[in-house]
Chain A
Amino acid sequence: MVKPTRVTNRIRALRDEHGDMTQGQLADALGVTRQTVNAIEQGKYSPSLEVAFQIARVFGVGLDDVFQYPDGA
């Protein structure tokens, strides 16, 4: 079983805040597959730093507003 990443994210909440953006729409904006957006959201895949910045840019927020890493991890 693949160990889930300890990086958490608020992508689902940010999509909701941006007019119920779908995973497909976010994927189109990023140039990745919808399955990759879903995997990132579910914590099954840690995106590259470049994709992480692209996600933050799509939502117009900072990286820390999208991704969090628990203290002491």
Chain B
Amino acid sequence: MSFEHRGAWIQLAVTIGAYATYLTLLVRRADGAPLSATPYGDLIAWMIGGSIVVGVVLTIIIGMFGGERARRTDVRDRAINRLSDQVGASFIIIGAVAAMILAILEVEHFWIANAILVGFVASGILSSIARIVMHRTGVPSW
């Protein structure tokens, strides 16, 4: 498994783990009250900041093993990253459009922020799945 392939697995695990942690802490904090009335800003900030830090640390750790050959990336890795980023970008747009519609409808800020967050999470999950699939099965040659 190449460095970039392992990186895709890390991105997938960190994204799912961070969002699951956010939801767990949010529900626990709400303690039966409506979610939209629960403070959420700090949780989102910690989730995004924490997932970046954990992702970087795990990537550094896997890069420490196997020498230069194990850390090598090449033109195929860059092609896979470019294509998977395109897959992920569509979900950021969907999240942004959903947030815009919610804002037009004057829905509570909580739901607007979380619509954007879900877009980020879906983007992260689907782009990493796309990377894993392309590393395993091949790069489309259209």
**Taking beta carbons and an 8 Å cutoff, which residues of A are in contact with B?**
1-5, 24, 27-28, 31-36, 39, 42, 44-48, 51
Of the candidates A31, A33, A46, A48, the one having the most CB atoms from chain B within 10 angstroms of its own CB is A33
Most buried by A among B1, B2, B73: B2
Q: How many residues of B contact A (CB 8 A)?
A: 18
B75 and A32 form a contact (CB under 8 A): yes
**Which residues of B lie under 8 Å from residue A4 when comparing CB positions?**
138
| Contacting pair B135 A35 (CB below 8 A) | yes
Main secondary structure of the interface of A (DSSP, over half): loop
Q: List 23 A-B contacts (CB under 8 A).
A: A2-B137, A2-B138, A2-B140, A2-B141, A3-B141, A4-B138, A28-B69, A32-B75, A33-B3, A33-B73, A33-B74, A34-B2, A34-B69, A36-B2, A36-B74, A36-B76, A39-B139, A42-B138, A44-B137, A44-B138, A45-B76, A48-B75, A51-B75
